[in-house]
Amino acid sequence: MSDISEATINRLPLYLRELEQLQRIGTARVQSGQIAKRLGFSDSQVRRDLSVLGSMGQRGVGYDVRSLIGTIRNQLGGDRSWNVVLVGVGNLGKALCGYRGFDQHGLNLVGVFDVDPAKIGTKLGDHVIRPLGELESLVEEQTVELAILAVPASVAPAVAQRLEVVGISGILNFAPVNVKQKLSSLTIVDVDLAIELQRLAHAVLRARSEKSED
C-alpha cells in the first residue's frame, strides 16, 4: 500500500471521478488516452499510474470501467464506509454540510457540532446542530473515525486536540493553521484556500514557461 507514490495517490481520486462519470453515461470500456484527455494528463502518465494498481489495459480494448473503479476505491479505502462529523457551522461548514457527494463516496455525515448557543439545537439540512459536549458519546456510539474541521483558526488546534482525545483518527482541516500536535497520531489533511491559490499561481507560471519553451 505504501509503495505507491504520494503523487499517484493524489491523482487516484481524479481518475475515480472521471470513471464514475463515464460509468454513469453507460461506458463499459475506456482507453488510457481518453482518460488522459479528460484530465489533461499524458497518456503514459495514466498508463503508469494505473499499472501501479495492477490494472493493465488491453491494447485496442482498454480498461474495464467497472473493475477499474473497484480497484481504485479499494486502494483509497473507499470500498468501506466511514462515519464523519463536521465541527464548525459558519459559512464554510454550511457549504460543506450541503455537499452532495458524501454518500456516493462511502462517507456518512453522522453529526454536526458547534459551540455557539444560538446555533445549537437548530437544524442544518437533516442534522440538528449539537454542542461539542456530545461529541464523545456520538464518536463512541457510531464509531466515528473522521472529522471535518471548519472552525476559526484561533480555536482549531484546541478543537483538533479534543477530537483526538475522543478517538478521531483523521481530520480534514479547513482552518488556515497547522493543527498537527507534537507526538500526535492524528492524520491531518489540510485544505487551505491561500495554499491552493498559490498552487494555482505556480501551475499557471509553469504552464506559461513550458509554452514559451515550445
Is 51 a binding residue for its own copies by CB under 8 A? The answer is no
Is 165 a binding residue for its own copies by CB under 8 A? The answer is no
Choose between 21 and 58: whose C-beta lies nearer to its own copies. Answer: 21
Whether the CB-CB separation of 188 and 156 falls below 8 Å is answered with no
Is 98 a binding residue for its own copies by CB under 8 A? The answer is yes
Window 26-45: contact mask with its own copies (x via CB under 8 A): -----------xxxx-----
Is 175 a binding residue for its own copies by CB under 8 A? The answer is no
Q: Which of 25, 54, 59, 104 binds its own copies (CB under 8 A)?
A: 104
Select from 49-57, 114-122, 155-163, 194-202 the region that touches its own copies (CB under 8 A): 194-202
**In sequence order, which residues have a C-beta less than 8 Å from that of residue 128 and are 6 or more positions away?**
112, 121, 122
Which H or E element spans position 85?
strand 82-87
Is 101 a binding residue for its own copies by CB under 8 A? The answer is yes
| 12 burial level (CB within 10 Å; 0-12, 13-18, 19+) | buried
Select from 49-57, 111-119, 156-164, 176-184 the region that touches its own copies (CB under 8 A): 176-184
**In sequence order, which residues have a C-beta less than 8 Å from that of residue 103 and are 6 or more positions away?**
none
Distance CA 140, CA 127 (A): 18
For 111, phi then psi, to 5°, come to -170, 145
Minimum distance of its own copies from residue 127's CB (angstroms): 15
